[in-house]
Amino acid sequence: MLPKRILQKRIPQSRIDDQPSLSSEMVREAQGILHRHLKRVGLKQTAQRDTILRTFLETRDHLSTDELHRLVQKQDAGIGYTTVYRTLKLLAECGLASEVAFHDGIARYEHQYNRRSHHHMVCTGCGGSVEFFSHEVDQLEQEIGRRHHYVTTRHTFQIYGVCEDCRKEAGHEEDGRKDEIKKDYVRREDVHKKSLAARPA
């Protein structure tokens, strides 16, 4: 297990963006996408939903509902948690957001407006994440879609590991864990081989 001080530090995020910031025109276009979706599902367009969308698009982090609610409250203290939760679901439905689940089990959202498909590397020690592009993973999505007669629209791909900072802080403790994992793997392999050998021919 990693030291408590590692688990308590702020989660670092390395994010790649196609646009360093969104123009007011782009925000209006994103609002148009949300408004059309609201009309399709029979819901009203409201100033509160627009505030939530703007706040969400302005951030560069992977946000939980709690985190977004805190940011939104600075703009409009009257916006409740439930409104933020439901609006995030609507943003995901219309493609403006996607849900990402990291190792801590908390659902987070990142905006997808005008962004290329990307993937995540997640540290299981501190919860930090790094975004990256992979043409090969995108090609694999298309190939698997064709094989199963699907028109693919998106995918999620996450790699889990331990970041350099956490490995440095954990020191030899991590090396010990690796040795234990290797020994356990060898033991399982031995048990498997013995069970195969014991089967009647």
pLDDT, tens digit (0-9, with 9 covering 90-100), for 127-154: 777 777 778 888 888 899 999 999 887 7
Of residues 62 and 118, more confidently modeled? 62
Contact in structure between 67 and 106 (CB atoms under 8 Å): no
* 63 strand-pairing partners: 109
**What domains appear along the chain, each with residue ranges and CATH number?**
19-115 (1.10.10.10)
Give residue-wise pLDDT tens across range 4-37. Answer: 433 333 455 555 555 556 778 888 998 999 999 9
- pLDDT score, position 19: 54
Residue 196: C-alpha distances to residues 42, 80, 149, 182 (Å): 60, 59, 38, 21
**Cβ atoms within 10 Å of 9's Cβ, excluding its own:** 15
Specify the residue for token string 């331990």.
162
